[in-house]
Structure 1
């Protein structure tokens, strides 16, 4: 893969504008699909990470980042004032916004958390199916950077810097084959990882340990009971997994 560098003055036969143009072309260009063995291997690896409890305890932080980022984005889009995001070492998180305590904006904000990891995985699968591996990685970095400015605790800052740093290093320095495998692994992980928290929520609610969950908040905001909100989370997560998985496998 060609390495790109920024220069302060034009060199022989080139200039800064050409270098920037090359970088832009690199980001927006398409890359070849990885071999089917890589697609299936990354799917198996992502499923193993989600299914194996010790690995899931660590990797679940990525899902929490997506979950809280979804709350934050929808809060802003619906006119609420975002005041901060906290990510905790137990993989929980809190997003605080100000605005009307009821109404469509609050409902949309509460609903968005559990569906965002699956939605990101679905959109990522669409980009990979179109061959936009590098664009996907840079979009991920942009989202993490936008979220970073709203983090209000040290663990959250470290989590985003580590995640964003890993994405940047792979997108900038790794060969195309490694970028492709990394992107497919990340998207598969979001698709599988978007499903497990929903069933964890269902289990916690049955034991009476999630009285302030997003589903219970939605039940207080609407006439719809919490169990149906959990069911809607599950349906959307499974639909994203099936549709996104088909895109990834089909290439």
Structure 2
């Protein structure tokens, strides 16, 4: 298996169809409540990856059935490391989507699928609750089965659908947080914790999350769309 062998992109209408399919699981509330688990995996995985990259000690990750999650790290309670770790949550899914779009733009479908599988397996080691283990196992199994048992065409369609979902689904959580905060909820959200650490208002951090997700969506479209 050559991870770096380029694959031809699907037909134009199939690329657009995968975008429509991703949108169909992002917009309707009932479907989104289930699909959002995948965005939570990316969110908490982003916290974990940046925590390790900045020298913090990763202790545990939990994923809950209400699509919330928690990543516990140990290290200095202030400083750049903890700020970057908190910033990584809401930006993780859009940035992963952008990276995936770049790989698909280069035709590297196989590399994308196996990289995603490896990240999920690495995350599984740190999951500390049953629902989280189940969620990551099911997600990882989907990538593994598609990678092993399907042909290049199906693999490409699956990869495009996943990347579109990360890009489109990565936009919605920041808006959900904004609405909760307007109603007085989520007092310990990532934006509020960042505000307390940096003395920069939570609204500015929300604007940052919005900017990253929308810019990633625009950039991803340039790689994915056939025109």
User: TM-score of the superposition, structure 1-length normalised?
Assistant: 0.89
- Alignment partner of 1:179 is 2:177: no
Tell me how many residue pairs correspond in the alignment. Answer: 227
1:113-192 equivalences under 5 Å are 113-192=89-168
> Which secondary structure does the structure 2 equivalent of 1:172 belong to?
helix
Residue 250 in structure 1 maps to residue 199 in structure 2: no
Unmatched 5+ stretches in structure 2:
none
Structure 1 residue matching 2:225: 3-state secondary structure: helix
Query: What is the distance in 2 between the residues matched to 1:57 and 1:86?
Result: 17
- Alpha-carbon distance in 2 for matches of 1:203, 1:244: 26
Counterpart-to-counterpart distance in 1, 2:140 and 2:172 = 23
1:14-163 aligned within 5 A: 23=1, 25=2, 27-163=3-139
Moved over 4 A (4+): none
Q: Deviations over 1:2-40 (max 9, x none)?
A: xxxxxxxxxxxxxxxxxxxxx2x2x22111110001100
The structure whose Rg is larger is: 1
RMSD across aligned positions (CA):
0.8
Residue 201 of structure 2 is aligned to residue 225 of structure 1 = yes
User: How many angstroms apart in 2 are the aligned matches of 1:105 and 1:246?
Assistant: 32
Aligned partners of 1:149 and 1:250: how far apart in 2? 38
Aligned equivalents of 1:99 and 1:210: distance in 2?
24
Structure 2 Cα separation of the partners of residues 223 and 154 of structure 1 = 37
Give TM-score, length-normalised by structure 2. Answer: 0.99
